[in-house]
Amino acid sequence: MNRQLATASGRIAAILVLAILALEPASNAFAAQPAGHASGMGGSAEGLFVAEIVLLLLVGRGLGEIFQRYGQPAIMGQLIGGILLGPSLFGWIWPDAQHLIFSSDPAQKGMIDAISQLGILLLLLLTGMETDLRLVRRVGAACFSISITGVVVPFACGFALAQFLPDSLLPDPRQRIVAGLFLGTALSISSVKIVAMVVREMNFMRRKLGQVIISSAIIEDTIGWLIIAITFGIATNGSLQVLPLITTVAEVALFMVLSLTIGRRLVFTLIRWSNDSFRSEYAVITVILIIMGVMAMMTNLIGVHTVLGAFVAGILVGESPILSDHIESQLRGVITALFMPVFFGMAGLSADLTVLADPTLALLTLALVAIASVGKFGGAFLGGRLAGMSLKEATAVGSAMNARGSTEVIVASIGLSMNILSHNLFTMIVTMAVITTLAMPPMLRWALGRLPVEHAEKQRVDRELLDERGFVSGLQRLLLLVDDSPVGKFTAYLAGLVGGGSGMPT
């Protein structure tokens, strides 16, 4: 293990050195420009923008690859890459180059921030597409018990903690309630992507406990984005007012109802129409992005954050029966290759770990990690026990729900952009997200490894795996040529059995 850690550390150092050396000629060229030229007209502004993108991609993807090889989420590598490129390391070792490449000039910073903000929407679109509501409906009531206690307990802990934070950690101490809502949400949401990674790796995806864990994370994620939408409305009003709060809740509820009824049918129709009618390349992806943008603007118009619209759009797109794996992989490719490293890298750049040299802030960060871990584990564990799970099963559920990762970083980034969270508090939340996320995979692997599969469940899992290997699972649409003869009627009956249950277009 020590040898592996030493090898990983060496690789990380090599990536950073190579990235800095690769961009040193560009840095010298920009430094030679006259004052103000780098952010003014000409090629320097665009050159700095490209240098920022290249550095974030090189370091973020490189560290992500190393982290993934050692059983950790690649997202954490991208986030830590951003932290290392910020004032925590790069700015500490070579401040002139760091300030030059990641300029604080508003025009220059606006270029990379625009990519980062678009990345948030695309990440939420992808998260929504991975949200399988059919799995939630199939598993049953256990996941609802886990989700409710798994959200309420850590949310209450985070909200209470915000009321005792020093005024220096809040940009506006008068908005302590709103800061508490952000902190409570950051402590209560689980990252579906990271939970699913470990559950899939341990071959628990088809087992009932694995499906309960994934379903609980899906519900918590959905509840969290609804809370963020409402919190955004409260923050926009400047204070907690009863009538605007009721109006915001009602508007969010109406948006969700319309989206999951009329909106679902409309999205299905648009995707099918674009797939059948357009001859140009990637027409379906363009329509998906338009749907995301329109729904994001709708949530913005009702006074809540655009992330809710993007997330709901992803849910509807993911449930479309015409959406092929090929189309989904194309969309996932550009998001994973470009927008994820840029967004998480920029989030890491906003965190300054050097502030943790202050003993008070370091102790507060440790307290935040402890409260987040105990609150989340305890809440999910309690929900599992209330649902009738054994001690080992509830322990596995509590371990799984303690993964935060990408979701908390997005929540904290929104709070920072709205001036609800200070940079120091943002750094504390990012540190908490990194520590709890890196601790979750080994904890969950240990907990799941203590749960042997029963004979009846093994038979069901083997049967489902055999069905998945058949030709039916690969079908996307059925095309039938039938008449009114007995053979034609029997063919139509078989088609109904094959495609009817999954809503397959026929």
Instruction: Look up residue 450 and give its two tokens.
Output: 């203590």
Instruction: Look up residue 87 and give its two tokens.
Output: 């004032």
Mean pLDDT, residues 437-448: 83
Give the pLDDT score at 71: 79
Residue 39 has pLDDT above 50, yes or no: no
Instruction: Look up residue 59 and give its two tokens.
Output: 């370091």
Which tens digit of pLDDT belongs to each residue from 269-284? 998 888 888 888 888 8
**Which region, left, alpha or beta, applies to residue 419 given φ > 0 means left and ψ of -120 to 50 means alpha?**
left
Q: Which residue has the higher pLDDT, 226 or 236?
A: 226
Give the pLDDT score at 193: 72
Mean pLDDT, residues 451-465: 64
Mean pLDDT, residues 439-465: 73
Confidence of residue 38 (pLDDT cuts 50, 70, 90): very low
CA 229 to chain centre: 16
What percentage of the chain carries pLDDT values higher than 70? Answer: 82
What average pLDDT does the chain have? 79
Whether residue 119 contacts residue 340, with contact meaning beta carbons closer than 8 Å, is answered with yes
Q: How far apart are CA 326 and CA 37, in angstroms?
A: 45
Residue 373 has pLDDT above 80, yes or no: yes
Residue 348 has pLDDT above 60, yes or no: yes
Give the pLDDT score at 279: 83
Q: Which residue has the higher pLDDT, 418 or 371?
A: 371
Give the pLDDT score at 334: 86
Mean pLDDT, residues 318-343: 82
Confidence of residue 363 (pLDDT cuts 50, 70, 90): very high
Residue 293 has pLDDT above 90, yes or no: yes
Which tens digit of pLDDT belongs to each residue from 381-391? 998 888 888 88
- Please give the C-alpha separations between residue 206 and each of 71, 391, 463, in angstroms, as whole numbers: 21, 21, 11
Confidence of residue 291 (pLDDT cuts 50, 70, 90): very high
Whether residue 37 contacts residue 44, with contact meaning beta carbons closer than 8 Å, is answered with yes
Give the helix/strand (H/E) hosting 189.
none
Ranges of H-type helices in 130-175: 133-139, 142-162
Which tens digit of pLDDT belongs to each residue from 116-138? 888 888 888 888 887 777 766 76
CA 45 to chain centre: 31
Give the pLDDT score at 19: 55
- Please give the C-alpha separations between residue 305 and each of 170, 187, 232, 359, 384, in angstroms, as whole numbers: 21, 19, 6, 35, 32
Give the pLDDT score at 35: 43
Which tens digit of pLDDT belongs to each residue from 78-98? 888 888 888 888 888 888 887
Q: How far apart are CA 136 and CA 205, in angstroms?
A: 13
Half-sphere CA count of 119, side-chain side, radius 13 A? 28
**HEC letters along 367-413:** HHHHHHHHHHHHHHHHHHHHCCCCHHHHHHHHHHHCCCCHHHHHHHH
Q: How far apart are CA 121 and CA 132, in angstroms?
A: 19
Give the pLDDT score at 479: 78
DSSP code at position 452: P
**Which region, left, alpha or beta, applies to residue 170 given φ > 0 means left and ψ of -120 to 50 means alpha?**
beta
Residue 459 carries which side chain, given as an amino acid letter?
A: Q
Which tens digit of pLDDT belongs to each residue from 135-175? 667 666 778 888 888 889 999 998 999 888 888 888 888 77
Burial degree of 40 (CB within 10 A; 0-12, 13-18, 19+): middle
DSSP code at position 459: H
Instruction: Look up residue 105 and give its two tokens.
Output: 């000039």
Burial degree of 134 (CB within 10 A; 0-12, 13-18, 19+): exposed
Q: How far apart are CA 227 and CA 208, in angstroms?
A: 28
Residue 33 has pLDDT above 70, yes or no: no
Confidence of residue 46 (pLDDT cuts 50, 70, 90): confident
Q: How far apart are CA 196 and CA 199, in angstroms?
A: 5
Confidence of residue 458 (pLDDT cuts 50, 70, 90): low
Instruction: Look up residue 468 and give its two tokens.
Output: 């998945």
Burial degree of 330 (CB within 10 A; 0-12, 13-18, 19+): middle
Residue 42 has pLDDT above 70, yes or no: no
Q: How far apart are CA 219 and CA 415, in angstroms?
A: 22
Mean pLDDT, residues 316-339: 82
Q: How far apart are CA 407 and CA 412, in angstroms?
A: 9
Size of the chain, expressed as the number of residues it contains: 506
Q: At what angle do helices 359-386 and 176-188 cross, to 10 degrees?
A: 60
Give the pLDDT score at 110: 81
List all residues 6 or more positions away from 311 whose beta carbon is below 8 Å from its beta carbon: 124, 125, 127, 128, 131, 222, 225
Instruction: Look up residue 77 and give its two tokens.
Output: 């590598």
Residue 231 has pLDDT above 50, yes or no: yes
Q: How far apart are CA 344 and CA 84, in angstroms?
A: 12
Mean pLDDT, residues 215-242: 76
Confidence of residue 24 (pLDDT cuts 50, 70, 90): low
CA 501 to chain centre: 30
CA 315 to chain centre: 13
Q: How far apart are CA 457 and CA 257, in angstroms?
A: 36
Residue 41 has pLDDT above 50, yes or no: no
Q: Which range in 29-33, 213-217, 258-262, 401-405 is most confidently predicted, on average pLDDT? A: 258-262
Q: Is 504 helix (H, G, I), strand (E, B) or coil?
A: coil
Mean pLDDT, residues 402-429: 82
Confidence of residue 36 (pLDDT cuts 50, 70, 90): very low
